[in-house]
């Protein structure tokens, strides 16, 4: 990153689906990394959840697998920190969205808390242990990252949480009633799927970066594939109808990547191979991963080199 070297990406697989009662998302990273091997020869590391874990599926359990998730995210957080200290750009592949607690907070730690966040998701993921209906912890990470309760999910972290007022959610269309109150009082900005259609993708993304970058060094972007309508991306654990299509999903990514010099880390999460149909979701996710790596290593690297002279 310094001394004229181009920026390099590291693909980090976060193979955990402990945050959701449905199995399969833990297999997503390895599948995508195998797909990338013919076209990408950079560093790829895959962490997998312990195969011996028996997941809780008790609907009344509001802290399903919290200890196991914390253990996994502690290891992931340390790996993310290590790679960022080496000057690499971490692209983290989930796995369910609870893995973002580790990746986003590692970014915040490296940048002394001066990081905003853009969360692209059909769900706002702003529940707490008190408000969650399902008990699935993948519905809590955005709250945990921004310091809205959920302390048990970040015991490994001793830095500054990301400011909720510098956090923007794009594409939300499924919000629990009490979750709405959490969002309202926290100061998080939400653009719904309907907002995207009314305002246009470019306007929404540009406004999101303006909010997230206010008095910040950079932005962590977390992209959940379930923002896409299941007609176009069925391979997710919790699909939500009336979403964007696959072309709009790539257009959002392209608009995000226009801000690559302001992005310090990214996630692409929730691809579940066991629920995919005709590899629709796999191909979309692969296109997203490949395009992100290309822009990081060609565009971000090139511009960083130019700044040296």
The CATH number of whichever domain residue 224 belongs to comes to: 3.40.800.10
Cα separation, 153 vs 158, whole angstroms: 12
Residue 52: predicted pLDDT: 78
Cα separation, 17 vs 5, whole angstroms: 36
Cα separation, 227 vs 246, whole angstroms: 10
Residue 255: predicted pLDDT: 99
Task: Answer for the pair 213, 167: CB distance below 8 angstroms, yes or no.
Answer: no
Give the residue from 139, 104, 102 showing the smallest Cα distance to 21: 139
- Chain centroid, CA 78 distance in Å: 17
Could you tell me if residue 2 is inside a domain? no
Residue 61: predicted pLDDT: 74
Task: Answer for the pair 19, 97: CB distance below 8 angstroms, yes or no.
Answer: yes
Task: Answer for the pair 279, 232: CB distance below 8 angstroms, yes or no.
Answer: no
DSSP symbols for 219-243:
EEEEEEGGGB-TTT---SSS--SS-
Task: Answer for the pair 79, 45: CB distance below 8 angstroms, yes or no.
Answer: yes
Could you tell me if residue 24 is inside a domain? yes
pTM of the predicted protein model: 0.94
Could you tell me if residue 223 is inside a domain? yes
- CA terminus-to-terminus distance, the chain: 14
Cα separation, 178 vs 183, whole angstroms: 9
Residue 307: predicted pLDDT: 36
DSSP symbols for 240-287:
-SS-B-HHHHHHHHHHHHTTGGGEEEEEEE---GGG-STTHHHHHHHH
Could you tell me if residue 1 is inside a domain? no
Per-residue model confidence as pLDDT tens for the chain (309 residues):
333 457 899 999 999 999 999 999 999 999 999 999 999 999 999 999 988 787 877 776 778 889 999 999 999 999 999 999 999 999 999 999 999 999 999 999 999 999 999 999 999 999 999 999 888 899 999 999 999 999 999 999 999 999 999 999 999 999 988 999 999 999 999 999 999 999 999 999 999 999 999 999 999 999 999 999 999 999 999 999 999 999 999 999 999 999 999 999 999 999 999 999 999 999 999 999 999 999 999 988 664 443 332
Task: Answer for the pair 121, 171: CB distance below 8 angstroms, yes or no.
Answer: yes
Domain that holds residue 79: 9-308
Cα separation, 128 vs 250, whole angstroms: 31
Could you tell me if residue 304 is inside a domain? yes
CA-CA-CA-CA torsion for 36, 208, 175, 220, nearest 10 degrees?
Answer: 40
Give the residue from 177, 71, 154, 68 showing the smallest Cα distance to 108: 154
Could you tell me if residue 4 is inside a domain? no
Structural domain count, the chain: 1
CA-to-CA separations, 282 to 24, 166, 168, 260, 287, in angstroms, rounded: 13, 31, 26, 24, 9
Could you tell me if residue 257 is inside a domain? yes
Residue 51: predicted pLDDT: 81
Residue 302: predicted pLDDT: 64
Could you tell me if residue 225 is inside a domain? yes
Give the residue from 111, 110, 88, 109 showing the smallest Cα distance to 215: 111
Task: Answer for the pair 108, 265: CB distance below 8 angstroms, yes or no.
Answer: no
């Amino acid at each position: 990153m310094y001394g004229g070297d181009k920026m390099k990406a590291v693909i980090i697989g976060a193979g955990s689906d402990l945050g959701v009662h449905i199995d399969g998302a833990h297999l997503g990273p390895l599948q995508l990394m195998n797909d990338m091997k013919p076209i990408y020869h950079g560093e790829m590391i895959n962490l997998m959840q312990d195969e011996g874990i028996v997941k809780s599926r008790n609907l009344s359990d509001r802290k399903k697998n919290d200890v196991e998730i914390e253990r996994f995210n502690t290891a992931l957080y340390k790996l993310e920190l290590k790679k960022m200290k080496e000057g690499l750009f971490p692209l983290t592949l989930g796995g369910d969205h609870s893995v973002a607690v580790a990746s986003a907070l590692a970014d915040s730690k490296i940048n002394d808390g001066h990081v905003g966040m853009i969360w692209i998701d059909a769900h706002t993921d702003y529940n707490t242990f008190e408000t969650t209906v399902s008990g699935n912890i993948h519905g809590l990470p955005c709250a945990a990252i921004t310091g809205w309760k959920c302390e048990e999910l970040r015991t490994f972290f001793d830095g500054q949480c990301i400011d909720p007022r510098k956090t923007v959610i794009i594409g939300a269309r499924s919000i629990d009633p009490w979750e709405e109150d959490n969002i309202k009082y926290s100061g998080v900005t939400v653009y719904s799927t309907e907002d995207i259609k009314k305002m246009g993708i470019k306007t929404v993304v540009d406004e999101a970066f303006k909010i997230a970058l206010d008095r910040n060094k950079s932005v962590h972007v977390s992209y959940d594939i379930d923002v896409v309508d299941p007609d176009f991306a069925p391979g997710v654990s919790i699909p939500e109808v009336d979403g964007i299509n696959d072309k709009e999903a790539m257009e959002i990514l392209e608009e995000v990547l226009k801000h690559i010099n302001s992005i310090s880390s990214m996630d692409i999460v929730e691809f579940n191979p066991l629920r995919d149909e005709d590899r629709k979701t796999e191909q979309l996710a692969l296109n997203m991963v490949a395009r992100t790596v290309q822009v990081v290593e060609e565009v971000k690297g090139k511009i960083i080199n130019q700044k040296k002279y």
